[in-house]
């Protein structure tokens, strides 16, 4: 579970969203490293169908019949409380009519991803807690969207359910390294977790989630909203947000929905602060206590109901009226000095322990071929159940018995046996239909299947093998032949599992290579002292901003900044003190720029800031904000005590500026003018003169 420690945001209408999403190549890269959480083929087909204006319910129903598990969940949802007190539906066609194609599209996406990723190999990752929290987020966003408007509730549900899928993806692709991330994080702040992900994996959950959404072909504002839902800075200097209104609304829903979800997952005092923070945001949306109580109780009812539909564990929660009373009483009993600011939790600084290669394990196939199998016996014959259970158990196999085909399918989905021995003729679901259904599931298609039959005519056997059986046994059973078949099946299972182990090792190796490559790429583009982008990265960013400005005609400015009298710092206090001054100054400048600005260490004590969309009217305000942040940044270290100042030269792109290098040259001239004017100043270049 993630404890999301946001600062309170007043003035939600001023929120600025950026839309610079990670490149889709991220997905191409980590696809080669391991198993990503992803929708089933049926769900992806449904996504494609719903984009076709000519698609109809019959076409969708035909596709859904290819995934019985997903169809069952859709029907179960259609019959749940939210669908109203109408007669139960029994077919997927009726469910589609009741829910509508848009709702089914959202449900298929969320349900299929969830059903494929309820367990995994990352020891520190709480898979059950992840989906419990994700379902709380989905229910919160759906209800809030319905209450506040601006966002389709179905879209709110889907985006809420999957907005943290990037964390699950990282745990799936890099299980060993991500376990170290979680161990270092130790349930600290969300900011700490994102930082650790970037430090140890060179990528974070929001980037992966946004890239996955793009890869699945979801609307553009989905990944935009996810990528911006954690923004905590409020910008009053810039122009109106460049993100679409849909992105803006969905990002806000995700932020407030997260507060509601945290109330579901937190305990005791932490829950009290979440309730009070949620109350603050309710006031922004003009909700009084009664309305807030009704909204949250609806969220809780939806969370509990959906937990039953999807077999996800949810908690027992008191009503919002009780939570409000308890939270206010807890707040009133605390000293004001002890109240957390926006519920911020500062933890120790984690340490990157690096990547430890996994130990290689090899398997003796011949040894495994003599080990027992997990066998599911499906028969309604009491005699066969008794004889097979006794004999197979005596030979060292683990045996589970089902009385009919439908029950056998439930057990297969839950336990994933290695081999099924099934009667051909059974109640509810016969042996061939059971086999066909298993072969349709990516998770169960590998199961070996032996059919027991009283007939061995050519036509029947052809039908059986076309259904996907591996072997057949003619009744009465010859147990010597059965033992021989099981020995062969055990060898095939061992071979397949050894191949899977080798694939896991290969994926682990590829994962380590990918992480190392990203580290090397970061090192090539990062100044190691200040942790800012280096000159090479800064110039590349400027070229990109220049090209965008050329296409769109939007404003662009460049700042060149230099620490005043830095040589004196080095000469007086030593180079160690100089390094500390550079690091601290870089941090102060980075904290003072806007989200959309890019800063780099340009060389020595010189820095460059590129400000897309900023013109002369903004230049002075932004430049002075950076200058004042450095001037007020007082250092108190054994090496250096005091503060430094910076001089800033600004150049704004005009029609006469030919290229990006010319813009840098003009900013440099303005910097010299700032130095000549007495330092600790901002000077702006104009075609005829430089002015403060």
Look at 60-69, 176-185, 341-350, 616-625 and tell me which has the smallest mean pLDDT: 341-350
Tens-digit pLDDT profile for residues 472-507: 888 888 888 888 888 888 888 888 888 888 877 887
**Quick check: bond before 476 cis, omega within 30?**
yes
Residue 581 lies inside a defined structural domain of this protein: yes
Are the C-beta atoms of 108 and 61 separated by less than 8 Å? no
Same-domain pairing of 333 and 444:
no
The full DSSP string for 386-400 is HHHHHHHHHTT-EEE
Ranges of beta strands (E only) in 213-332 are none
pLDDT of 539 strictly over 90 = yes
pLDDT value, residue 684: 92
Mean model confidence pLDDT for the chain: 78
Tens-digit pLDDT profile for residues 315-346: 777 777 777 777 777 766 654 444 444 433 33
Residue 402 lies inside a defined structural domain of this protein: yes
Query: And the tokens for 561?
Result: 């900044």
Tens-digit pLDDT profile for residues 553-606: 889 999 999 999 999 999 999 999 999 999 999 999 988 888 788 999 999 999
pLDDT value, residue 19: 45
Residue 514 lies inside a defined structural domain of this protein: no
Same-domain pairing of 334 and 372:
no
Residue 50 lies inside a defined structural domain of this protein: no
Query: And the tokens for 371?
Result: 């080990």
Residue 287 lies inside a defined structural domain of this protein: yes
Are the C-beta atoms of 561 and 646 separated by less than 8 Å? yes
pLDDT band at residue 34 using 50, 70 and 90 as cut-offs:
low
For residue 658, give the CATH number of its domain. 3.30.70.270
For residue 161, give the CATH number of its domain. 1.10.3210.10
Query: And the tokens for 458?
Result: 């050519």
Element (H, E) at 471: strand 471-474
Look at 8-12, 75-79, 91-95, 193-197 and tell me which has the smallest mean pLDDT: 8-12
pLDDT value, residue 52: 65
Same-domain pairing of 221 and 290:
yes
Same-domain pairing of 163 and 312:
yes
Same-domain pairing of 464 and 542:
no
Residue 98 lies inside a defined structural domain of this protein: no
pLDDT value, residue 564: 94
CA 81: distance to chain centroid?
A: 29
pLDDT of 678 strictly over 60 = yes
Our CA dihedral for 529, 531, 535, 537, rounded to 10 degrees, sits at 150
Our CA dihedral for 581, 584, 587, 592, rounded to 10 degrees, sits at -90
pLDDT value, residue 172: 83
The full DSSP string for 126-166 is -HHHHHHHHHHHHHHHHHHHHHH-SS-HHHHHHHHHHTTHH
pLDDT value, residue 284: 63
Higher pLDDT, 161 or 38: 161
Higher pLDDT, 96 or 402: 402
Cα gap 448→435, rounded to integer Å: 9
What letter would DSSP give residue 527? -
pLDDT value, residue 361: 37
pLDDT value, residue 40: 66
Q: Which of 338, 357, 374 is at the close of a domain?
A: 338
Catalytic residue among 197, 277, 605, 666: 605
pLDDT value, residue 513: 80
Same-domain pairing of 246 and 174:
yes
pLDDT of 376 strictly over 90 = yes
Q: From the CB of residue 585, how many other CB atoms can be counted at a distance below 10 Å? A: 24
Q: In Å, how far are 222, 382, 467, 508 from 158, measured between CA atoms?
A: 10, 46, 35, 31
Are the C-beta atoms of 309 and 73 separated by less than 8 Å? yes
pLDDT value, residue 691: 54
Query: And the tokens for 377?
Result: 């016996």
Same-domain pairing of 551 and 480:
no
Cα gap 252→144, rounded to integer Å: 10
What letter would DSSP give residue 526? B
Tens-digit pLDDT profile for residues 150-161: 778 878 888 888
Percent of the chain with pLDDT over 90: 22
Are the C-beta atoms of 250 and 19 separated by less than 8 Å? no
pLDDT value, residue 88: 74
pLDDT band at residue 87 using 50, 70 and 90 as cut-offs:
low
Q: In Å, how far are 146, 298, 321, 343 from 271, measured between CA atoms?
A: 24, 18, 14, 10
Same-domain pairing of 303 and 395:
no
For residue 432, give the CATH number of its domain. 3.40.50.2300
Same-domain pairing of 319 and 233:
yes
Same-domain pairing of 435 and 323:
no
What are the φ/ψ torsions at residue 434 (nearest 5 degrees)? -60, -45
Element (H, E) at 691: strand 690-691
Cα gap 40→300, rounded to integer Å: 29
Note down the domain range covering 399. 365-498
pLDDT band at residue 636 using 50, 70 and 90 as cut-offs:
confident
Look at 7-16, 111-120, 242-251, 637-646 and tell me which has the smallest mean pLDDT: 7-16
Cα gap 77→308, rounded to integer Å: 10
What are the φ/ψ torsions at residue 420 (nearest 5 degrees)? -120, 130
Cα gap 472→422, rounded to integer Å: 10
Cα gap 234→241, rounded to integer Å: 11
Query: And the tokens for 687?
Result: 């075609």
Residue 84 lies inside a defined structural domain of this protein: no
Q: 27: which residues sit within 8 A by CB, 6+ positions away?
A: 36, 208, 211, 212, 214, 215
Are the C-beta atoms of 104 and 60 separated by less than 8 Å? yes
Same-domain pairing of 250 and 377:
no
**DSSP three-state, residue 1:** coil
Is residue 512 annotated as part of the catalytic site, yes or no?
no
Same-domain pairing of 314 and 374:
no
Tens-digit pLDDT profile for residues 502-530: 877 887 777 778 777 777 777 788 898 99
Residue 552 lies inside a defined structural domain of this protein: yes
Question: How many separate domains does the chain show?
Answer: 3
Q: What is the pTM of this model?
A: 0.55
């Amino acid at each position: 579970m993630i404890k999301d420690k946001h600062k309170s945001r007043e003035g939600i209408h001023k929120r600025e969203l950026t839309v610079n999403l990670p490149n889709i190549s991220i997905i191409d890269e980590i696809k080669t490293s391991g198993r990503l959480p992803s929708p089933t083929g049926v769900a992806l087909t449904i996504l494609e169908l719903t984009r076709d204006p000519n698609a109809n319910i019959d076409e969708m129903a035909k596709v859904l019949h290819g995934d019985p598990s997903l169809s069952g969940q859709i029907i179960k949802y259609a019959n749940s409380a939210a669908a109203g007190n109408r007669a139960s539906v029994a077919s997927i066609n009726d469910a589609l009519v009741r829910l509508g194609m848009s709702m089914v599209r959202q449900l298929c996406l969320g349900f299929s991803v969830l059903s494929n990723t309820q367990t995994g190999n990352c020891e520190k990752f709480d898979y059950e807690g992840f989906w419990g929290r994700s379902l709380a987020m989905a229910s919160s966003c759906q209800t809030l969207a319905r209450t506040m408007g601006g966002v389709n509730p179905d879209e709110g549900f889907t985006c809420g359910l999957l907005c943290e899928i990037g964390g699950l993806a990282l745990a799936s692709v890099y299980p060993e390294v991500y376990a170290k991330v979680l161990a270092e994080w130790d349930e600290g702040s969300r900011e700490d977790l994102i930082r650790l992900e970037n430090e140890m994996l060179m990528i974070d959950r929001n980037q992966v989630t946004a890239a996955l959404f793009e890869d699945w072909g979801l609307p553009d504002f989905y990944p935009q909203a996810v990528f911006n839902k954690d923004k905590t800075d409020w910008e009053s200097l810039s122009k109106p947000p460049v993100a679409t209104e849909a992105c803006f609304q969905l990002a806000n829903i995700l932020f407030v929905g997260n507060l509601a979800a945290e109330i579901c997952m937190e305990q005791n005092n932490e829950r009290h602060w979440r309730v009070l923070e949620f109350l603050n945001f309710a006031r922004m949306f003009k909700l009084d206590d009664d309305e807030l109580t009704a909204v949250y109780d609806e969220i809780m009812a939806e969370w509990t109901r959906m937990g039953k539909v999807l077999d996800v564990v949810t908690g027992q929660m008191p009503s919002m009226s009780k939570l409000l009373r308890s939270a206010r009483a807890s707040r009133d009993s605390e000293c004001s000095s002890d109240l957390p600011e926006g519920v911020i939790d500062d933890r120790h600084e984690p340490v990157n322990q690096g990547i430890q290669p996994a130990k290689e394990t090899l398997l003796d196939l011949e040894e495994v071929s003599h080990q027992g199998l997990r066998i599911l016996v499906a028969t309604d014959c009491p005699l066969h159940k008794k004889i097979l259970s006794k004999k197979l158990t005596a030979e060292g196999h683990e045996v589970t018995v089902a009385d009919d085909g439908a029950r056998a399918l439930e057990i297969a989905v839950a336990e994933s046996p290695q081999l099924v021995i099934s009667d051909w003729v059974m109640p509810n679901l016969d042996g061939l239909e059971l086999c066909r259904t298993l072969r349709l599931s990516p998770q169960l298609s590998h199961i070996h299947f032996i059919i027991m039959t009283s007939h061995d005519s050519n036509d029947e056997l052809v039908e059986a093998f076309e259904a996907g059986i591996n072997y057949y046994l003619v009744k009465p059973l010859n147990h010597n032949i059965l033992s021989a078949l099981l020995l062969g099946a055990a060898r095939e299972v061992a071979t397949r599992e050894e191949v899977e182990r080798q694939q896991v090792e290969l994926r682990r190796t590829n994962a380590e290579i990918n992480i190392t490559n990203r580290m090397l790429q970061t090192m090539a583009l990062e100044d190691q002292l200040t942790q800012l982008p280096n000159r090479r990265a800064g110039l590349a960013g400027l070229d990109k901003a220049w090209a965008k400005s050329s296409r769109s005609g939007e404003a662009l400015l460049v700042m060149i900044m230099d620490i005043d009298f830095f040589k004196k710092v080095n000469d007086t206090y030593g180079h160690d003190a100089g390094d500390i001054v550079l690091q601290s100054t870089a941090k102060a400048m980075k904290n003072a720029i806007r989200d959309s600005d890019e800063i780099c260490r340009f060389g020595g004590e010189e820095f460059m800031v590129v400000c897309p969309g900023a013109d002369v009217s903004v230049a002075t305000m932004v430049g002075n904000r950076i200058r004042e942040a450095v001037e007020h940044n007082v250092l108190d270290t054994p090496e250096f005590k005091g503060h430094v100042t910076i001089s800033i030269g600004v150049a704004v792109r005009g029609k006469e500026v030919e290229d990006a290098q010319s813009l840098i040259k003009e900013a440099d001239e303005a910097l010299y003018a700032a130095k000549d004017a007495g330092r600790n100043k901002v000077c702006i270049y104009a075609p005829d003169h430089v002015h403060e």
